[in-house]
Amino acid sequence: MRLEQLQAFLAIAETGSFQKAARQCGVTQSTISRQIQSLEADLGVELFHRTSYAKLTLGGESLLPRVRKICQEWQTATQELTDLIAGKQPELCIAAIHSLCASYLPPVLQKFCHDYPEVQLRVTSLGSDRALKVLKDGLVDLAIVMNNRFLITGKEMVVEALYEEPIEVLTSVHHPLAQYEHIPWSELVRYPQVVFKDGYGMQRLVQDKFERLEAKLQAALEVNTLDAFRGVVRQGDLVALLPHSALMEARNDSTLAVRPLADNSGFTRRVVMVTTQDRLQIPPIQNFWQLVIENIPPQFQQQRSAS
């Protein structure tokens, strides 16, 4: 049983004529007749009385509402796909790491909403691992995350490296480390830290760095928002290792200090944008992808060109 057979059956039932159904379907009358004969053979029952008017048999009457529903579902599905390819999707879902939502993305979001006012833009702030998982599960269309080569493998994945940024130290202005212009690792490892919760790329990045230094990470507290980092560090005892873009507000806070590391060039994070090949064919997603690339913060443009 094929879709064109069901469409032929429905056309005959609605027009009452094999000839009119053939014109409606854009085929010859003989083609329509063969399709119905084949459908009747598959079902083992006659569907029409062959008279001057194509009248449904009892079997045809029973089949008609089912066929009408199948053909309507098919028409709806094909129209939705046509709209999707044409960029007429109802919403675009983005997952991005916290620091980008606060600093990098706002102008991108504003420009996208101007270009596609009919598309509902939904942005969720998530850790990198979680963002990539919801992308793979089909819950979002695009993710902007820390690079994780273990989670972005697969032929269907498209990955765009955006930039690298230094990791810096956040302390209270009264913390002993605040006296340094560039904080040595030998001093940093002596102090307890507040870190991101499990599942965040930054936690893994910091842990790996301490392991390479053969030093113990004194993770005294786990949080998952930048406000929480600032609030905890402001109390004076704990310090935090955070990326440059996550420290914008901290730089303007007189109670906090931001200091580079002594070997800053060796400790960075790479930010990438990820989607799937099929999604990148959709115009709104293409547009958002390009806007993100075009609006990379100026301080990272040179790094991107060099890479």
Instruction: Please report, for the chain, the start and end positions of each structural domain, with discontinuous segments joined by +.
Output: 3-85, 91-142+277-306, 164-268
The better pLDDT of the pair 113, 78 is held by 113
The alpha helices in 119-269, defined as continuous H runs, are 128-136, 185-188, 201-212, 226-234, 248-251
| pLDDT tens sequence across 162-181 | 999 999 999 999 999 999 99
Residue 265 is predicted with a pLDDT of 55
DSSP H or E stretch at residue 69? helix 58-85
Residue 251 is predicted with a pLDDT of 93
Judged by average pLDDT, the poorest of 89-93, 245-249, 266-270 is: 89-93
State the average pLDDT for the chain: 87
Which of 3.40.50.720, 3.40.50.2300, 3.40.190.290, 3.40.50.1820 is the CATH number of 164-268?
Answer: 3.40.190.290
Angle subtended at Cα 148 by Cα 92 and Cα 96, rounded to the nearest 5 degrees: 30
Residue 298 is predicted with a pLDDT of 72
| pLDDT tens sequence across 118-140 | 889 999 988 888 888 899 888 99
Q: Are 232 and 206 in contact (CB under 8 A)?
A: no
| pLDDT tens sequence across 279-293 | 898 888 999 999 999
Angle subtended at Cα 136 by Cα 132 and Cα 139, rounded to the nearest 5 degrees: 90
Residue 87 is predicted with a pLDDT of 58
The better pLDDT of the pair 123, 103 is held by 123
Residue 256 is predicted with a pLDDT of 96
Q: pTM of the prediction?
A: 0.70
How far apart CA 164 and CA 238 sit, in angstroms, is: 26
Which of 3.10.580.10, 3.30.70.270, 3.40.640.10, 3.40.190.10 is the CATH number of 91-142+277-306?
Answer: 3.40.190.10
Judged by average pLDDT, the poorest of 6-20, 155-169, 220-234, 292-306 is: 292-306
| Mean predicted confidence (pLDDT) in 90-107 | 86
Residue 215 is predicted with a pLDDT of 92
| Mean predicted confidence (pLDDT) in 69-89 | 75
How far apart CA 285 and CA 116 sit, in angstroms, is: 10
The better pLDDT of the pair 149, 307 is held by 149
Which of 3.20.20.100, 1.10.10.10, 3.30.420.40, 2.40.30.10 is the CATH number of 3-85?
Answer: 1.10.10.10
